[in-house]
Structure 1
Amino acid sequence: MQQILLFIYALFAYLSAMVSVSLLILWVYPWSFMPLTIDSGSGGSFALVINLALIGLFGLQHSVMARPAVKKALFGSLPVAFRTSTYTVLSALCLLLIIFLWQPMTGSLYAFETGPLFWTATLLYVLGWSMAFVATFQIDHFELFGLHQGYRALRGIPEPEVRFQKKGFYKYVRHPIQTGTVIGLWATPVMSTGHLLFASGMTLYILIGLVFEEKDLVKTLGEAYRRYREEVPMLLPFWKKRA
């Protein structure tokens, strides 16, 4: 019975992640068919404070809970499927809080309603999020969001050893999911003050989070990842460290 419940929980977590991420991707762009976007509605006097708190909450949950020491302290010897699914559910919840509680902010840097700049921004938006999505499958999409862990719990299959993979986008940047996400966040034909705050805050979180993630990867994968880090740039293709 426990194995069945773990799989159901993993499936719920996976669907929660897909819904929240899909909504976020649509939410950051001024689609006319979306009833709620980053710039729709009117913000209050505490818009800046609320928005910073929402970004901070997501950053803390998404990064701190990912650290092995924190996982051990929070979950102890609980099954891997439960730990991963709980992390995924809480991440989805934080994204939904951003989407539904975000306060629009007045003012904008630019707004392109048509023309080459509009279509360039739109194309980059599509390419960025597409890159992030494809990159999840170039490692293991269902492992990343916890569904494989739930399936292994259901079938009684032991957790496999972590394997180092270097294929697809990962041959050119070490973190293509984050590269695509940053492009998707910034590529918009309407750069409002609120969008600028969101894109800046999330980009800063990504950069800080990657510092800790890289340390964990070195501990887990050892010399193979150290060599990989010397050979492949973190986020920008062809931008290697100078000797």
Structure 2
Amino acid sequence: MKRLAIFLYGLASYAVFFATFLYAMAFVGNLPLVPRTIDGEPLLPFANALVIDVLLLTVFAVQHSVMARPAFKALWTRIIPAAAERSTYVLFSSLALIALFHFWQPLGGMVWGIENRSGRLLLNAGFGFGWALVLYSTFLINHFDLFGLRQVWLQLLGRPYTALPFKTPGAYKLVRHPLYLGWFFAFWCTPEMSATHLLFALATSAYILLAIVFEEHDLMRAHPEYRGYRQQVPMLLPRLRGKRKAQELEEAA
């Protein structure tokens, strides 16, 4: 029963994540599919709204970073089953985003507005490409392990968890962080950049760049070969020679 309960918990956490992911697309893209989006009529004075939005972004960043640290995981798994650790991280991240969606306050003001039809199509295409790249990248590195499903499935079968080997499939031969590159497209490609959207894009971009520093430090400790990969393949902007060098590095490993 305990194994089944952990498995169902993992499924429920994933379901919350996936619903949150879909909502996030509509939220950031101002799609009329959800009750609240990133833009709208300001309901509070600018300073009050700004403080609330910054606090919401900070809560998400702290939760997302602290719970991802190896030291926190070691402490956390004394309280919860190790198989449920990733699912719990995914659930808490989703809840932090849900809180952000619910309490987010529009600031008003417009930074840019593209009226040209071709320009709008190009930016909307970039927005869609970004979300597709994010999802595609998760499957390249094992989507089900990243979001905790593999862990709870293995414990349901009574099998020990084995860490994934270091690999550089697909887009990872071009850049080290295609998933984060996708977020940049998703957050910055918009034909109408409001002050609210700009705050969100700037804060999340700064967080991503900081997160890469910590993530790569952990990856170099867990996978010694990552250091060579890091020297050969660019972080976010691809170059023509990156794919060939990364492929040679993978074949040599």
Question: Which TM-score band (shorter chain)?
Answer: over 0.9
Runs of 4+ off more than 4 Å: none
Unaligned runs of 5+ in 1: none
2:236 corresponds to which residue?
Answer: 235
Q: Which residue of 2 aligns with 1:58?
A: 60
Aligned length: 240
Describe the SS at the equivalent of 1:28: helix
Asked whether the equivalents of residues 42 and 105 of structure 1 are also in contact (C-alpha less than 8 Å), the reply is: yes
Code of the aligned partner of 1:59: A
Q: Residues of 1 paired with 2:17 and 2:97: CA distance?
A: 9
The answer to whether the 8 Å contact 1:233/1:239 transfers is: no
In structure 2, what is the Cα distance between the partners aligned to 1:101 and 1:157? 42
Give deviations 1:60-94, integer Å, cap 9, x for gaps. Answer: 11111101011112332743221111111000001
> Hey, what's the Cα distance between the residues in 1 that align with 2:115 and 2:93?
33
- Relative contact order: is structure 1 or structure 2 higher (C-alpha 8 Å, sep ≥ 6)? 1
Candidates 153, 157, 160, aligned match of 2:159: 157
Whole-angstrom CA distance in 2 between matches of 1:117 and 1:109 = 16
Cα distance in 1 between the residues matched to 2:115 and 2:65: 36
The alignment's C-alpha RMSD in Å is 1.7
Distance 1:74 1:239 in 2: 43
SS in 1 for 2:40: coil
CA distance in 2, matches of 1:76, 1:32: 44
Q: Deviations over 1:11-53 (max 9, x none)?
A: 0111111111111111111224443210024331211000001
Superposed, 1:1-243 pairs within 5 Å as 1-45=1-45, 46-76=48-78, 78-113=80-115, 115-222=117-224, 224-238=225-239
Identity of matched residues, %: 38
Q: 1:240 to 1:67 in 2, by over 3 A?
A: farther
TM-score calculated relative to the size of structure 2: 0.90
Q: Give 3-state SS (helix, strand or coil) of 2:167's partner.
A: coil
Query: Which amino acid counterpart does residue 19 of structure 1 have in structure 2?
Result: A
Larger mean CA deviation between 89-98 and 40-49 belongs to: 40-49
CA–CA distance in structure 2, aligned partners of residues 20 and 34 of structure 1: 11
Could you report, residue by residue, the CA deviation over 1:169-218 in whole angstroms, capped at 9, with x for unpaired residues? 11111111111011100001110000000010011111111100100000
Cα deviation 1:117-138 (Å, max 9, x = unaligned): 1111101001111111111111
CA distance in 2, matches of 1:64, 1:234: 23
Using structure 1 for the length normalisation, give the TM-score: 0.94
Question: What residue identity is the alignment partner of 1:14?
Answer: Y
